[in-house]
Structure 1
């Protein structure tokens, strides 16, 4: 069960003399990366490193539904063959622009870091995400990042793997964000950290899957006009009440910050 706000104001418990137990965060905030934290799809961004900023037609046509992770492995191998090296990738990821209002949201979260636990779940790649978050000065805000493993091999090629396997029929074979979020909440509960509310900020179809698992206490922040937003609207039309979380669409992440700020003002 989620921890209720009635216990928030209680004094800290002591494990020993002078050893206070830190008060656990009250809220979990889950972020997507591509077209959520950053304004672009970072997989598309890497094409700027290709000759003529385009892929050969046979490679481009090799993308098949359900095997995007494998397709990106081929893309990265091609870029390696063209002489693209670690410093090139690092500079590219660092310079992908943040989405509108995202600096304001991170500033708010930094000021209220004791209340919010942040995690990131993305079907991009770990190297690119960490490079961007460090460049933006917000990497330390995240307790954990879940993404496809990536590293540079002895040739200097960026390699990519799948995150995990799962049985969800609605998600790509390499990642189900609902499975990741559900397991994370269970893990934190075992560590005696349970959240009053979960907030989910995303944009894509693969963000809709975990948002369906949210409860009526939680809030889904879909980017306005993107697949996650359209899918929540379609579910509400077809099955009124089936989508339990409050839905708050956003165009600027500053809107998310304002919503959270107002929430804190109302809390006990």
Structure 2
């Protein structure tokens, strides 16, 4: 029995996905503002370099002051663009005995409410994101995943409030193999903590591609894991199937 449990542990794997523009086909904050307060798009553009949790907290203060209710926010969450093929990906991972985690600079309320709206909560084993909660009078507050007073000391592409490399390193203590899926430059830190038997899966057409293909292609050499590119959910399913079907995948640069 002990040997069987050890063998099972050796074969556990995790698929960790970013949320915005990866799992969903939109940026959750921008979509939220388009639905509830289109005029605030200028606020997002003017403060794009703020820590994302601080920007979101400020935006939701504006929404609350304008009379936007908790129910209004939740209804908007339910309209996030979602490719139904992603459910096939979830089913594939579970069928192969793996877990699924969300690693995102969005917030826990967006993620929890979205999966509840899709009847997909049972697929998700863990969420690493900025913690969010409702005040008693219905305002959404968004806090940092990592407090600025105790910085993660990442010198890569991560914001001060969330280090995806740190999150990946924690998961790697619990899983034998990890597949990290993302679209943005800020996903690179998470990918850089993967090992040769893991896999980095980057979405074409977003800032990760610009970062690694156009601006700093030499940084691909920092990756120990193979890098595979995907464009939509069907492509991603193919990539994940390819990775899970082999103990080693040739590095694609």
Q: TM-score range by the shorter chain?
A: 0.7 to 0.9
Q: Which among 155, 161, 167 is matched to residue 174 of structure 1?
A: 161
Q: Which has the higher helix share?
A: 2
Q: Which of the pair has more CA radius of gyration?
A: 1
1:231 match: 211
2:240 match: 260
2:2 match: 13
Normalised to the residue count of structure 1, the TM-score between the two structures is: 0.80
Flag the 1:246–1:69 CA change in 2: closer, same or farther, 3 A.
Answer: same
Q: Which has the higher contact order (CA 8 A, sep 6+)?
A: 1
Shift of 1:106: 2.1
1:185 match: 172
Deviates more, 1:25-34 or 1:100-109: 100-109
CA distance in 1, matches of 2:164, 2:205: 21
Flag the 1:123–1:266 CA change in 2: closer, same or farther, 3 A.
Answer: closer
Q: Which among 7, 10, 15 is matched to residue 29 of structure 1?
A: 15
Is residue 65 of structure 2 the alignment partner of residue 81 of structure 1? yes
Aligned length: 241
2:202 match: 222
- Assess if the C-alpha contact under 8 Å between 2:144 and 2:162 holds in 1: yes
Shift of 1:66: 4.0
Q: Structure 2, unaligned stretches of length 5 or more? A: 248-253
Shift of 1:240: 6.5
2:89 match: 105
Q: Structure 1, unaligned stretches of length 5 or more? A: 1-11, 189-193
Q: Which among 112, 131, 134 is matched to residue 152 of structure 1?
A: 134
CA distance in 2, matches of 1:14, 1:61: 55
Q: Which among 187, 194, 208 is matched to residue 188 of structure 2?
A: 208
SS in 2 for 1:123: coil
1:55 match: 40
- Assess if the C-alpha contact under 8 Å between 1:49 and 1:84 holds in 2: no
CA deviation map 1:59-85 (0-9, x unaligned): 456515243321221100000111111
